[in-house]
Amino acid sequence: RSLVETLPLCVFRKDLQGRITFCNSRMAELLGLPPEEVVGKTDFDLYPEELAAKYQADDQRVLETGTLVELEERHFSEEQGPLWVRVIKTPLCDSQGNVIGVQGVFWDITEQIRTQEELQEREEQLAHAGRLATLGELVAGVAHEMAQPLAAIANFAGACTTLLTGKPQLPEDVMIWLSRISEEVQRAGTILARLRTFARRTSPRLTLHDLRDVVRQAAELVGFELRRRGITLDLQLPKRKQPVVVDAVQLQQVVVNLLQNACDAAQGLEPSRCRIQVSMSDDPDVVQVSVADAGRGLPPNTDPAQLFETFFTTKPTGTGMGLAISRRIIESHGGRIWALANEG
């Protein structure tokens, strides 16, 4: 008895009717009762009905098979509430070898289970991050491969324009269409070039840019997605130049990420609210870019600062990396990024 009282384990014995005939102090403490008040009770007297039925079924299996049972299962503590325990149950026999009950031990493994779940979640997130990195390389490769057929289309359109120029019998619309083909090919080439640059991993290159151009180019990258979803983009940019020394590609990455998040937030809203507003301060000393949407806002009790923590996300399919990367980029430029929750 002195041994089981010093063990950091819960020890118990039950008779064939499931009544507890012995428990050590650790188990009584977990139940929030003196040991003498535990003895004589069944699991149904001590635990929620669902748990008690599970424990009784486990006991019955031990009694019927005469073998040891080891398992992880949910438990309940008056002090700690729901927790996870590892349980070992064996038949309790008399001196003649007859089974007269069940005896067992169990101990708290809640923290171990929680750690395992967190590790598994991190592994899944890292695997997803790896897939995203591969996707970035794939985008760069596709953009590179598309450059050649686009160049061929541009050359053929140019050749057709040269051959048909000055022929009076040719409908005027044909020349207009050829011109449009050339313009759209050039536009597609520009987008592909930006995609290649966007997906390429390079060290920051700080050069002088007009921040308005950086924002406009980022908006062009997500323009198709916005139009597909029926979302209006309202760019409110100052008339005068906003000179900044930055890595334009990295800042475009931040703006694109913010626009994509705003796009997700606006999904499903009535048409009048499907709008994203991008504004920029006209302060000669400080440059501030704001991206606002009319979405549903953050879940209750969510601190906006959490949005910039690695792997934190409010979206079912989110990675929790976009805003964390954005914060790192902005802070590496000596700036700061923050979020304000929509009211209502």
- The answer to which of 7-21, 87-101, 280-294, 303-317 has the lowest mean pLDDT is 303-317
Statement: the pTM of the whole predicted model exceeds 0.85: no
Q: Is the pLDDT of residue 214 over 50?
A: yes
Please give the average per-residue pLDDT across 295-301, as a whole number: 73
Of 178, 181, 216, 217, nearest in space to 198 by CA: 217
Q: Which residue has the higher pLDDT, 230 or 76?
A: 230
> Are 194 and 221 within 8 A, CB to CB?
yes
Looking at 250-303, which runs of residues are DSSP E strands? 275-280, 289-293
Nearest-angstrom CA–CA distance, 208 and 246: 7
Please give the average per-residue pLDDT across 131-150, as a whole number: 71
Q: Which residue has the higher pLDDT, 309 or 41?
A: 41
When pLDDT is cut at 50, 70 and 90, the band that residue 13 belongs to is very high
Domains and CATH numbers, the chain: 2-108 (3.30.450.20), 121-201 (1.10.287.130), 204-344 (3.30.565.10)
**pLDDT tens, position by position, 226-247:** 888 888 888 999 888 888 999 8
Nearest-angstrom CA–CA distance, 289 and 53: 60
Per-residue pLDDT at 135: 64
> Are 105 and 30 within 8 A, CB to CB?
no
Indicate left, alpha or beta for 108 from its phi (over 0: left) and psi (-120 to 50: alpha): beta
Kindly state the tokens that stand for 19.
């009544």
Residue 81 dihedral angles phi and psi, to the nearest 5°: 80, -150
Per-residue pLDDT at 344: 46
To the nearest 10°, the Cα dihedral for 256, 261, 262, 263? 90
> Does the CA dihedral 104-108-110-113 come out positive or negative?
negative
Per-residue pLDDT at 173: 78
Q: Which residue has the higher pLDDT, 236 or 274?
A: 236
The winner for highest mean pLDDT among 123-127, 193-197, 244-248, 328-332 is 244-248
Per-residue pLDDT at 197: 59
Of 113, 108, 65, nearest in space to 89 by CA: 65
Nearest-angstrom CA–CA distance, 204 and 330: 12
